[in-house]
Amino acid sequence: MKFEHITLGQRVLFGAGRAAEHVAREAARLGARNIMCITSEFERPFAETALSLADVALWHTDVVQHVPAETAERARTAASDAGIDLIVCVGGGSTTGLAKAVALTTGIPIVAVPTTYAGSEATNVWGLTENATKTTGVDDRVLPVAVVYDAELTLSLPVSLSVASGLNALAHCVDSLWAPRADPINQALAAEGIRALADGLPRIVADPSDLAGRETALYGAYLAAVSFASAGSGLHHKICHVLGGTFNLPHAETHATVLPYVLAFNGPAAPGAAARIAGALRAGLASAGPANAPAQEPGTEPAEEALALLNSLRRTLGAPTALRDHGFTEADIPEAVERILKAVPPSNPAEATAENIGGLLRSALAGTEPTTGSAVLVGAGTGFNGGTK
Ligand SMILES: NC(=O)C1=CN([C@@H]2O[C@H](COP(=O)(O)OP(=O)(O)OC[C@H]3O[C@@H](n4cnc5c(N)ncnc54)[C@H](O)[C@@H]3O)[C@@H](O)[C@H]2O)C=CC1
Ligand SMILES: O=C(O)/C=C\C(=O)CC(=O)O
């Protein structure tokens, strides 16, 4: 075994109903005097709960998904005008993304209180959108110094958003298994993330007020983000990055829709990764409830089994199925293919071509259930077996 792994340092405070206590404790530990809270108008009630034991100098609610550059500039100006020394962001990945944009140029530390499963709180990845192009980068200044997880703040997340966001987290895990810096540590975190999400998400759909299900999903979302930050962006993230940044498709729903097509495309060329995905999905579905786990067919190829289990989980969850439902059109495919092909990581297990990426997008546009046998979807292997490289 030979690999190099970097572990990112941040404090994680997990506990239902304890956000206010944990945020106040972190603000005191950091010696904060001037706190800026970044949250959207809609998320502000969650922020008021999380910051009820801390003094907030500035509330900033101008939050837009995919962080347009002008939104970032306004937040940076507001932070420096007010002499801010700590940002507390409360909300989904969009609020965390804006906090990161401020931290990137000012170095102001962030305490993140996530209320979705996007996972931005546990990565050192930032994203900014300008001229219909989303740029991402990696910088340790944007990694929140602390993350406060409080599942009570996620109880209000509607089932459809919980499912889309939870599948965004699942996509972090799956893509981590063949991403450029995949290694045994981030692969282990990713596999446990898949198991936890496959356990927690069906329980949320069955009962959105199931706090234990919400906690399991949050735990899975954290592992997903840590594995993604460590392993880097694989093909799935490159595709969704183009769809979100250039065509302004909604983030979580796009990830949720595209994931099975990428698994169908890469799985046959990465049997080791596919077997791991299948094992973790089976274990998670089994603990969510016997009715959720489909029978195991002897002799099934790992990629086929992984995809069958993912399709089954998606049916249980009522996951989004077609990119056309999110504003993508046939006319967008050529530009999307051109942009995606420029970004495909050399580590990708299946070889991407204009034809097969176009086929993948066309299937995802229509929402045809993917199978590993689809001639259009299956990429030619590049020799990667999903293990340590
Ligand atoms: N840098 C990174 O590592 C990552 C960044 N992201 C970024 O995060 C953004 C997407 O984040 P998401 O969380 O998917 O979407 P989001 O932050 O835009 O939230 C989606 C919707 O859910 C609402 N919401 C949030 N929490 C809620 C709650 N508890 N109850 C009810 N409604 C709630 C929000 O107000 C919003 O309307 C994208 O810009 C994406 O690029 C996502 C993952 C990782
Ligand atoms: O695509 C993702 O889920 C992960 C990373 C980002 O979204 C980065 C960003 O654009 O903020």
Average pLDDT over residues 346-369: 96
Domain boundaries, the chain: 11-154, 161-374
Residue 377, pLDDT score: 53
188-to-100, 227, 273 alpha-carbon distances in Å: 27, 8, 11
Confidence of residue 367 (pLDDT cuts 50, 70, 90): very high
Nearest alpha carbon to residue 143 among 176, 181, 187, 99: 99
| pLDDT tens-place string over residues 37-61 | 999 999 999 999 999 999 999 999 9
Helix or strand holding residue 247 (H, E): helix 235-247
How many whole angstroms from 203 Cα to the centroid of ligand 1? Answer: 21
pTM for this prediction: 0.95
Residue 67, pLDDT score: 95
How many whole angstroms from 370 Cα to the centroid of ligand 2? Answer: 24
* Separation CA 256–CA 61 (nearest Å): 27
Confidence of residue 133 (pLDDT cuts 50, 70, 90): confident
User: Mean pLDDT across the chain, nearest whole number?
Assistant: 94
| pLDDT tens-place string over residues 251-305 | 999 999 999 999 999 999 999 999 999 999 999 999 888 777 778 888 899 999 9
| pLDDT tens-place string over residues 7-25 | 999 999 999 999 999 999 9
Rg (CA), the chain: 20
Q: Which ligand is nearest to the CA of 175?
A: 2
Average pLDDT over residues 143-166: 98
> Matching CATH topology for 11-154 and 161-374?
no
Q: What is the CATH number of domain 11-154?
A: 3.40.50.1970
Q: Which ligand is nearest to the CA of 115?
A: 1
Residue 242, pLDDT score: 95
Pairing of strands 146-149, 110-114: parallel
Confidence of residue 311 (pLDDT cuts 50, 70, 90): very high
How many whole angstroms from 97 Cα to the centroid of ligand 2? Answer: 9
- The tokens describing 333, both together, are 């495919």
Residue 379, pLDDT score: 54
Report the complex ipTM.
0.97
* Separation CA 129–CA 137 (nearest Å): 12
Sign of the torsion angle spanned by Cα atoms 152, 155, 156, 157: positive
Q: In what order do the strands lie in the sheet with 58-60?
A: 11-14, 146-149, 110-114, 86-91, 35-38, 58-60
* Separation CA 359–CA 355 (nearest Å): 6
> Which of the four CATH numbers 2.40.70.10, 1.20.1090.10, 3.65.10.10, 3.30.1490.20 does domain 161-374 have?
1.20.1090.10
* Separation CA 253–CA 260 (nearest Å): 13
- The residue nearest atom 14 of ligand 1, judged by CA position, is 252
Pocket of ligand 2 from Cβ distances under 6 Å: 97, 125, 127, 134, 136, 168, 237, 240-241
- The residue nearest atom 1 of ligand 2, judged by CA position, is 237
- The residue nearest atom 11 of ligand 2, judged by CA position, is 127
Residue 99, pLDDT score: 98
* Separation CA 241–CA 189 (nearest Å): 23
* Separation CA 135–CA 151 (nearest Å): 31
* pLDDT for residue 126 is more than 50: yes
- The tokens describing 62, both together, are 């101008």
Q: Which ligand is nearest to the CA of 218?
A: 1
